Amino acid sequence: MSDAPQFPITDAVLQALAVTRRGVDELLPEAEWTKKLARSAATGVPLRIKLGLDPTAPDIHVGHTVVLNKMRQLQDLGHQVIFLIGDFTSLIGDPSGRNATRPPLTKEQIQSNAETYYAQAKLVLDPARTEIRYNSEWSEPLGAAGMIQLASKYTVARMMERDDFTKRFAAQTPISVHEFLYPLMQGYDSVALKSDLELGGTDQKFNLLMGRHLQQEYGQEPQCILTMPLLEGLDGVEKMSKSKNNYIGITEPANTMFAKILSISDVQMWKWYELLSFKSMAEIAALRAEIDGGRNPKDAKVMLAKEITARFHSAAAADAAEADFNNRARGGIPDEIPEVQLSGAPMGLAQLLKAAGLVASTGEGLRMIEQGGVRRSGEVLSDKSLKLDAGEHVLQVGKRKFARVVLG
């Protein structure tokens, strides 16, 4: 951009830069992005901001929304957001962070997942200001000749600089030739879309830089790249993942979502505020000062839980979730609990708890009864030999497990 006209770095540009920087891991090159922002502010032409997601699974969790939140912040500054669905690249499989070849998906799986992905992403992005694209639009017409020409734009030596490829090669773990095509195709997406900025997680840096390289190869102004940190899950250690069962799905019930957010640590809460909240950094700093000054940290956590729950449900649902949580904390019974139909009355209490899915085994059920951790309609059941007759029984194990058991 050295030969491009120089535009003034105004206060509005600096504010936009501050919004861009919030919570990011890397913004590269920052000087180029500042110039792009200044040009956009002076000319009124919005920047093109790209996020590509391969629909490899049908559901989005809160960890995925970290980068979507950043897209929304940039969207609110007036820039053009492109939500790119990688229906073509999903056929290859992203090797990022993998120690083995990722199995490709079928077109039917990709289409089904893509529909669910965007339906959920709309809970964060403004649909009216979001451009939806599929990379099969330009990838499929390339054909064999186009693919060969694209492959000539990068060397094997540079491809092998990629960390996961290097490790797999050293460990003599197979690397399929088609995996080299993935970063090339993702980079070509930036060429096709004339992207000014591409976002991704920290594990996507190689692929994002490929976009810069290929844009230069095709005579375009190179995009800047922005990487967002990976959000730790409910355990506060591992990144949020369904496989680790430390996640919050954005379509989970409001009561479940609210309670899960309240379970995170006081320390972890502030990172969640920075990455997930729509509050300004000044508002967050003021709140943190109040907590440091003696205010109960739970107050801040409740505010965060209500904000996120309201985003994916409604303000009324967030209020109801808070009331439900407080009711449970006082030993009350939540408004919505699962119903289980069982037969075999009369049935031993420990056996019934296992059959209803409230405990993993009858042994655990007996221990919970002995410890006073089992209630029926609020009354503690302490008799391990108790048998329940036919009828409806509202049972509670511990603080959070409830079931309405209809025993026949």
pLDDT, mean of residues 266-272? 93
The answer to whether residue 116 is domain-embedded is yes
Q: Is 394 helix (H, G, I), strand (E, B) or coil?
A: strand
DSSP letters for 286-322: HHHHHHHTT--HHHHHHHHHHHHHHHHS-HHHHHHHH
Q: Is the pLDDT of residue 131 over 50?
A: yes
Q: Is the pLDDT of residue 87 over 90?
A: no
Q: 347 and 201: one domain?
A: no
Distance separating alpha carbons of residues 151 and 179, to the nearest angstrom = 12
- Any idea what the CATH number is for the domain that residue 399 is in? 3.10.290.10
Q: 305 and 214: one domain?
A: no
Q: 91 and 223: one domain?
A: yes
Q: 153 vs 93, 123, 214, CA distance in Å?
A: 21, 38, 7
pLDDT in tens, 89-104: 887 766 555 445 556 6
Distance separating alpha carbons of residues 107 and 87, to the nearest angstrom = 8
Q: Are 54 and 102 in contact (CB under 8 A)?
A: no
Distance separating alpha carbons of residues 408 and 400, to the nearest angstrom = 25
The answer to whether residue 27 is domain-embedded is yes
9, two tokens: 């770095």
The answer to whether residue 247 is domain-embedded is no
pLDDT for res 111: 81
Farthest-apart Cα atoms in the chain, separation: 85
Distance separating alpha carbons of residues 272 and 265, to the nearest angstrom = 10
Higher pLDDT among residues 334 and 95, named by residue:
334
Higher pLDDT among residues 86 and 4, named by residue:
86
pLDDT for res 103: 63
Q: Are 36 and 238 in contact (CB under 8 A)?
A: no
pLDDT for res 99: 45
Q: Of 269, 264, 248, whose CA–CA distance to 313 is shortest?
A: 248
The answer to whether residue 78 is domain-embedded is yes
Q: Is the pLDDT of residue 247 over 90?
A: no
pLDDT for res 4: 65
Q: Is the pLDDT of residue 66 over 90?
A: yes
Q: Is the pLDDT of residue 290 over 90?
A: yes
Q: Is the pLDDT of residue 160 over 50?
A: yes
Q: Is 205 helix (H, G, I), strand (E, B) or coil?
A: helix
pLDDT, mean of residues 167-186? 83
Higher pLDDT among residues 334 and 346, named by residue:
346
pLDDT, mean of residues 164-188? 83
Q: Domain residues for 149?
A: 11-228
pLDDT for res 114: 80
The answer to whether residue 235 is domain-embedded is no
Higher pLDDT among residues 300 and 243, named by residue:
300
Task: Report the alpha-carbon angle 51-52-54, nearest 5.
Answer: 150
Q: 303 and 386: one domain?
A: no
Q: Of 203, 280, 308, whose CA–CA distance to 22 is shortest?
A: 280
| Among the ranges given (21-30, 134-143, 335-344), the one the predictor scored with the smallest mean pLDDT | 335-344
* Highest-pLDDT range among 67-71, 93-97, 194-198: 194-198
pLDDT in tens, 380-394: 788 888 998 888 888
**Parallel/antiparallel/unpaired status of strands 48-53 and 80-85:** parallel
Distance separating alpha carbons of residues 125 and 278, to the nearest angstrom = 12
- Any idea what the CATH number is for the domain that residue 279 is in? 1.10.240.10
Q: Where are the alpha helices (DSSP H) in 60-196?
A: 65-76, 107-121, 136-151, 156-159, 163-170, 181-193
What is the band of 236 on the pLDDT scale with cuts at 50, 70, 90?
Answer: confident
The answer to whether residue 129 is domain-embedded is yes
DSSP letters for 226-250: EEEPPPB-TTSSSBP-TTTT---BT
pLDDT for res 3: 62
Q: Model-level pTM greater than 0.75? A: no
Number of domains into which the chain is organized = 3
